[in-house]
Structure 1
Amino acid sequence: MAEGDVDPYPQVFVVDSQANYVSMPGEKRPRWVRSGQTFLLLLVGLALLGLVVEGCFIYSLYKKTEGGTILSQVGSKDSNDIPTVRPHLEDIQQRPFAQLIGSDSYIGENNEVQWEDKNGETVTHNMGFEKGRLMVKEDGYYYIYSKVTLNVAEECELIQHKIIKATSAYGKDIELLKSKSLRCFNPTRSPITHKEDIRNSFLAGIFHLESGNTIFVTLENSPKMLPRHTEYLMGAFMIYPGGLLQE
Structure 2
Amino acid sequence: MLKNEKILLVDDEIGILTLLEVTLKKEHYTHISRCTNAKQTVEMVRSHNYDLIILDVMLPDMNGFELCSLVRSHTNAPIIFISASSSDFDKLKGLSVGGDDYITKPFNPLEVVARIEAIFRRQKIYQTQSYAIQENQEIRVGRLTLKPSDAMLVFDEQKIECTAKELDLLRFFLRNPNRIYTSSQIYELVWGGEPLYGEEKTVAMHISKIRKKMEINPKSPEIIINLKGIGYKFVPPQ
TM-score with structure 1 length normalisation? 0.21
Normalising to structure 2: TM-score of the pair? 0.22
Query: Which protein has the bigger strand share?
Result: 1
Higher relative contact order, chain-length normalized (CA < 8 Å, sep 6+)? 1
Q: Return the structure number with greater helix share.
A: 2
